[in-house]
Amino acid sequence: MTSRLKLPPNQKFLVGVNEAAGLLNRNSDYFNENIRYTREFLDMNIEKQGGQFSTELLAQYAREMK
């Protein structure tokens, strides 16, 4: 049996473009061309630093875009 690591709710992780695209089940080219610069994506302020994306906000974006 595997246990999951419990983290504080305010802890956020930042990932790069390839990981962000993977979390959205897309390849990095599609992510850069069709998702990263859309108004919805930019309005959510998911990109925290140059090329670094919040995993928490990526998950929220994925839920809202379904």
The residue extents of the domains of the chain are 14-64
pTM: 0.78
Cα separation, 10 vs 28, in Å, equals 27
Number of other CB atoms surrounding residue 11 within 10 Å: 7
Q: Show the tokens assigned to 61.
A: 């974006």
* Per-residue model confidence as pLDDT tens digits over 3-26: 555 555 555 688 999 999 999 999
Whether 57 contacts 45, CB under 8 Å: yes
Query: Quick one: DSSP state of residue 27?
Result: -
Higher pLDDT, residue 43 or 9 = 43
Question: Of 16, 9, 12, nearest to 47 (Cα)?
Answer: 16
